[in-house]
Structure 1
């Protein structure tokens, strides 16, 4: 789903579009196309990070965004396979304990 539709969905559900959440979640979509960017934040650990950064309401918007994209919310980045070395380096920088 594109960023505009995510925003419209959140506006209908929560009364605001949470643009900052969608921008954060999909911030690497151009750099890592075909859904690879989802390995960074499209999971429960990503939602927890968004809650710390933007608040609990934003976490609800993030969960909705991920459900709209995937149909479920993975626990963490390990759900997503990737052999892209640039993406794997970014994941290691964001989630160093992984």
Structure 2
């Protein structure tokens, strides 16, 4: 998993802002005993991007997508695979 600082540096370079609140929100359940590394199923998908935009504004959607793509790529996902649409689709794709 990419760490918080990597996500912040990435969006700073690409979008000109660290979007710390977005990254923290996306990974909020990482330390939860219930989810741990499986936390991605909750927000690392298109529905999570829409929710980030609703909560943090339209530019936050771009930051969320960058974050999610980075994490998915680290797990072996590539652009030839379907992008997860929601939690059920994420799980159905075998992504944690």
TM-score (norm 2): 0.78
Structure 2 partner of 1:38: 40
Structure-1 separation of matches of 2:50 and 2:67: 14
Structure 2 partner of 1:77: 87
Deviating runs (4+, > 6 A) in structure 1?
Answer: none
Structure 2 partner of 1:54: 56
Greater length-normalized contact order (CA 8 Å, ≥ 6 residues apart): 2
Offset from partner CA, 1:39-67 (integer Å, 9 cap, x none):
11000001001111111100000000000
Aligned length: 80
Structure 2 partner of 1:17: 18
Structure 2 partner of 1:95: none
The alignment yields a C-alpha RMSD, in angstroms, of: 1.2
Structure 1 partner of 2:9: 8
Unaligned runs of 5+ in 1: 82-98
TM-score (norm 1): 0.77
Unaligned runs of 5+ in 2: 74-78
Structure-1 separation of matches of 2:63 and 2:71: 12
